[in-house]
Copies of this chain bind each other. A is one copy, B any other.
Amino acid sequence: MTLSRLGEFGIIERIKNVQINQSSDIHISIGDDAAVYKINSRKWSVITTDALVEGVHFDLSYTPVHSVGWKLMAINISDIAAMGGIPRNAVVSIALTKSWSAKKVDLLARGIADCCKQYSCDLIGGDTVSSVSNVFLSATVTGEVEPKCCIQRSGAKTGDLICVTGVLGRARAGLDILSSSQRKSRGEKAVNHFLYPKPRVREAQILAKEVGINAMIDISDGLASEIHHICSSSKKGCIIYGNKIPAAKELEILSYKEKKPLFFYAMKSGEEYELLFTISENNFEKLKKNKIFKNNLISVIGKISNKEDGMQLLDDDKKMSLPTSGWDHFKKNQ
């Protein structure tokens, strides 16, 4: 079996199968946004790693090098946020081709540094190596989380409301505009969202610490895929209301052209780095009083049900199975 059939999560399963961890300090291992290990009773450490490969995750013919550096850090910081953590330190592994200019290196470094600075994350080490053909970038970010704020994707409870932050689909729209020859000025907001994602560290802190939520994940592979992760880790089902998914206006033309509902694109758009979380009805009342709710940052898009009910999508009054597909770079058809 080749990897195009096995897929990313199949590979992870195989790695999990051979690994035997020994320490009792590990709180969360492979299988969540980030791993967590205990330092003491008041402080736990969070660690995550995420990579970007040229030709797979980014295309330098239309992506500024500075934004690639920013994204490398942002995708990792977003994973720390999704655990209820605060980023602290980072190390990067950078494989560049020999033809890169020193100026390009500076732009990449500045993108990394700018994102680190924005999120008070210190870059404390790294490795630079050469690559034969494609650029490969990997970062590891460590952070801290208070034990009571550590939110897993497996904590969803029946009856929880399913919520997301922000608007979805903007990254997809941004990529479309950026990679097409007819770049229009009205898409600047979407392009910027795609090039410079802003991890929701502050909002995740409010949710985990002040409000109290049961499960959380960041939307890197697309909403549909992340809901599946939450439900399968929590051993739950769900119902998602299609018309409640906050879809980016920039997708309207595409939706009209392809005659598919707006939320279809919002649900499949990866690299959004918004938060998907589940919350009890009681705590939702608390959330409603919080500024992040008052600022229209939160949408309720569904409800957690029992596992037996399956994962359902409600489109107008039509019930259907929630699509599974998120973004898997190993698989061909998305």
Contact = CB atoms under 8 A, between A and B. Distances in A.
A88 B3 contact: no
A125 B2 CA distance: 23
B100 A3 contact: yes
Interface string A139-176: 01010000000000000000000000000000000000
A142 B29 CA distance: 14
A98 B4 contact: yes
B130 A51 contact: no
Contacts of A2: 98-102
A53 B131 contact: yes
B127 A51 contact: yes
Contacts of A45: 45
26 contacts: A2-B98, A3-B98, A3-B99, A4-B98, A8-B129, A11-B128, A12-B128, A14-B102, A14-B106, A15-B105, A17-B109, A18-B109, A18-B113, A28-B124, A47-B124, A47-B142, A49-B91, A49-B93, A49-B125, A51-B127, A53-B136, A54-B132, A56-B95, A56-B131, A91-B140, A133-B133
Given A29-B125, A93-B49, A109-B18, A102 B6 contact: yes
A47 B126 CA distance: 10
Give how many copies assemble into the complex: 2
Contact of A93 (B51, B113, B125): B51
A189 interface: no
A134 B106 CA distance: 25
Secondary structure of the A contact surface, majority rule: mixed
Interface in A1-47: 1-4, 6, 8, 10-12, 14-15, 17-23, 26, 28-30, 34-35, 37, 39-40, 45, 47
How extensive is the interface on chain A, given as a class?
A: 35 or more
A229 interface: no
Interface stretch (A114-122, A233-241, A270-278): A114-122
Interface of A: 1-4, 6, 8, 10-12, 14-15, 17-23, 26, 28-30, 34-35, 37, 39-40, 45, 47-51, 53-57, 88-89, 91-102, 105-106, 109-110, 112-113, 116-117, 120, 122-134, 136, 138, 140, 142, 329-330
